A and B are shown apart, each in its own frame.
Chain A
Amino acid sequence: MRRLCAVALLLWLAPVPAFAHLVSTRFGELYTGVLHPLTTLAHLVPWLAVGLLAGLQSPRTGRWSIVAFPIAVIAGVAAAGTVSLPFIELVNGLSFIVLGALVAAAVPLPPWLFLSLVTLFGLSHGYANSAPDIRDFQSVLYASGVGLTAYVLVTLTAGSAQALATAQPWGSIAVRAAGSWIAAAGTMYAGFLLLAG
């Protein structure tokens, strides 16, 4: 009996996880939305490419991505519940190749084309970020989180790329090489999706 009491006491004293920091519950799914694109390479890498491409454009053109990309991403998340797009993973695989190759080639794009690409891939990535099991007001928080990451990531990457490409003679080569790495990774990813997936 004494042993049983001791075991019971031990169990009672056994540590249970204490959620002393409740930010994740207070803001609901906002943090899930923030973290999802950051922890998924299929989103993170092409989003960096959007930033790099924006950084290689003239500031007048590149600046559009800061507004257009997060809005397109949020619209994509919102659209996911209403339409069904089966080939979205392949479109996102294509975004690696198109964006990466444009960064590697470092071509200045006409503003309408740059804006169209950013919007198209923002929509497709937003769509793939959707979380059907998050409902009601929580889904608004979730979409805001994804959009927040889109904004921060693209703005910081575009600014860094612009600074690097203009400040150092090798800077634009470094940015272009990064673009070719992204296009290369995307070529293999798309190849895998088509051939072995």
Chain B
Amino acid sequence: MLALAAAAAHAHTETGVAGGLVSGFLHPIFGPDHLVAMVAVGLWGAQLGAPAIWALPITFPLVMAFGAVLGVAGFPLPGVELGVSASALVLGAMVALCVRPPLAVAGVLVAAFAIFHGFAHGTELPAAANPLAYGVGFVTSTGLLHLCGILLGTLIRWPAGMHVVRASGGVVAACGAYFLAVNLGVLA
């Protein structure tokens, strides 16, 4: 009977796809410092308008992936957690104060923070049940968080909506300040 039992033949059986996808997908969402910063990226993109609103969601994942490869390689990037917290503080402040620098300046600033975010996710990639699934999961959830920010950011077409967006930026900045204080050891 056992000998006759048909075993499914797989060219190369992939394991841990579901686990890898879920852990990758949840990593940015359960890391509140990532979550608020990614929403802020979308909010700021919406505030800056075209071309930033579409340049950000297309270039951010690529730069973040570069940061993740540095993380996989074990590159000694100093102050990763500080960089992630500072990104929430700075990006939130940009949204709250409605700062509109030239696209190149905004792009470089966001790209620098994307490296830190990617690095923080990337260091955990080799330990994932399935590294590829982990990568697909966290890129997808990061992109969806940008989308949340962009959709919330479309409120700026109404004056009251602009207040909501700037207040959201203020909340992100406050969260960032808190995470930064915790990481610096100022707060427990």
Contacts and interface: CB of A to CB of B under 8 A. Distances in A.
B17 to A, nearest CB: 6
Interface stretch (A60-68, A107-115, A185-193): A185-193
A188 B11 CA distance: 23
Contacts of A184: 61-62, 64-65, 135, 139
B184 interface: no
Contacts of A130: 11
Contacts of B65: 183-185, 187-188, 191
B140 A181 contact: yes
A194 B17 CA distance: 20
A41 B136 contact: yes
B58 A189 contact: no
Contacts of A192: 72, 125-126, 131-132, 135
A191 B71 CA distance: 10
Given A130-B11, A192-B125, A185 B139 contact: yes
B9 interface: yes
B66 interface: yes
A16 B174 CA distance: 60
A25 B6 contact: yes
A134 B8 CA distance: 10
A188 B135 contact: yes
A185 B62 CA distance: 9
Contacts of B10: 32, 36, 131
Interface in A47-95: none
A188 B122 contact: yes
A40 B17 CA distance: 8
Interface residues on A, range: 20 to 34
Contact of A185 (B14, B72, B135): B135
A34 interface: no
Contacts of B58: 104, 173, 176-177, 179-180
Nearest to B127: A196
B143 A41 contact: no
A133 B6 CA distance: 13
Nearest to B66: A187
Nearest to A189: B132
Interface string B143-163: 100000000000000000000
A39 interface: yes
A148 interface: no
Given A25-B6, A45-B136, A181 B14 contact: no
Nearest to A40: B14
B9 A41 contact: no
Contact of A188 (B14, B21, B59, B69): B69
B61 A180 contact: yes
**Which of A25, A29, A128, A191 has the most C-beta atoms of chain B within 10 angstroms of its own C-beta?**
A191
Given A29-B9, A189-B132, A183 B62 contact: yes
8 contacts: A39-B14, A41-B17, A101-B62, A180-B57, A188-B68, A191-B65, A196-B72, A196-B131
Given A128-B11, A196-B73, 8 more contacts: A128-B12, A181-B61, A183-B61, A188-B65, A188-B69, A188-B139, A191-B73, A192-B72
The 4 closest A-B CB pairs, nearest first, are A191-B69, A184-B61, A184-B65, A187-B65
